[in-house]
Structure formats: C-alpha cells, structure tokens
Amino acid sequence: MRISDILRVKGDEVVTVTPDADVTALLAVLAEHKIGAVVVSADGRRVDGIVSERDVVRALAARGVAVLRERVTEIWTEQVRSVTRDALVSDVERLMTERRFRHVPVVEQGALHGVVSIGDVVKSRIDELEEERSSLAGYITGERT
Ligand code: AMP
C-alpha cells in the first residue's frame, strides 16, 4: 500500500492556516475540522510549517493563556518532514513511530497534496492485514474469498 491509496479514499483536501493566524484561530480550525494538526502555509500550497495540539499544550503549560493571542509561528515546527504519494505506508508508519509525530504532509514539486495522520496509517495497515488474513484463510480452506 502506498500513500496515494490512502489519499484516493480520503481525498486531497488539506486544511491550512496562514503564519499570521493566532493560536485562538488555530484552535477553532482544529475543533471545526476535528483534526489534531494543521499545515501552516502562506499561500495554501507551500508548507511553511506544521502546528499540532501538542504544541499548544506545551506552550500553555510553559506560558499560560497569553499563548492564545500569540501567532502560530511562536509555537510551530518549521522543519517539517513530508513524504511523496508513492511512499510506502509501512515506511511512513516507521517514520511516525521513530520521530514521534502523528501527521505527515504529502508534498510533490513543492506543492501540498494532502496530510496523512497516524489514524489513516493504522486504518490502512488493518485493511491490508485483513485482506492477507482473508486470502490465507481462503487458501487453507480451498475457498477463494
Ligand atoms: P503530532 O504528534 O503530529 O501532534 O506532533 C508532535 C510534534 O511534532 C509537534 O511539535 C508538531 O509540531 C511536530 N510535527 C508534527 N508533524 C510533523 C512533521 N510531519 N514533521 C515535523 N514535525 C512534525
């Protein structure tokens, strides 16, 4: 399975915020779309950074509610790790586990094509294992499923 298989099902809609958005606006976007992270992008195409609910929690713990009026660029991650559509889901799973992040933008030729979350990766891996299990069961019982 490749990242393109996930995007085909999930679609390529990407939620972004601009670098001048404040943390209060970010929280509204996370809540509205029921997501845990957004790409920060000035033009909606290029990835300038990423900011997740964890960044908000850490900043709140460090500086209190004044953080809500800060720009997202005060709390974001600028060095974003992205993947291309042809990346293997198993490689992205390993990347997320090793680097301890749950979101990876899909970028090609400098343009954002989607975001894959750990939830998308786990779902795809479960579907893959279920397919394997079902064809092995069919092989053993002599029935094709
Ligand atoms: P997450 O687990 O995705 O909520 O993010 C945990 C931390 O990693 C936060 O500080 C994020 O800003 C950062 N982060 C999330 N996704 C990425 C990514 N693809 N590349 C680099 N940092 C990331």
Q: What is the mean pLDDT of residues 129-143?
A: 87
pLDDT score at 138: 85
pLDDT band of residue 97 (cuts 50, 70, 90) is very high
19 ligand 1 Cβ < 6 A = no
Q: What is the mean pLDDT of residues 5-21?
A: 92
The answer on pLDDT for 145 being more than 90 is no
In order of 2, 19, 56, 142, the CA distances from 62 in angstroms are 39, 21, 10, 61
Residue of 15, 38, 50, 83 best suited for mutating to test ligand 1, as the one with most atoms within 8 Å of CB? 50
73 ligand 1 Cβ < 6 A = no
Q: What is the mean pLDDT of residues 7-12?
A: 86
Q: Are 56 and 76 in contact (CB under 8 A)?
A: no
Q: What is the mean pLDDT of residues 31-49?
A: 97
124 ligand 1 Cβ < 6 A = no
103 ligand 1 Cβ < 6 A = yes
80 ligand 1 Cβ < 6 A = yes
Nearest CA to ligand 1 atom 6: 101
Beta bridge partners of 105: 115
72 ligand 1 Cβ < 6 A = no
pLDDT band of residue 110 (cuts 50, 70, 90) is very high
What whole-number distance in Å separates Cα of residue 52 and Cα of residue 101? 9
Residue of 40, 60, 77 best suited for mutating to test ligand 1, as the one with most atoms within 8 Å of CB? 77
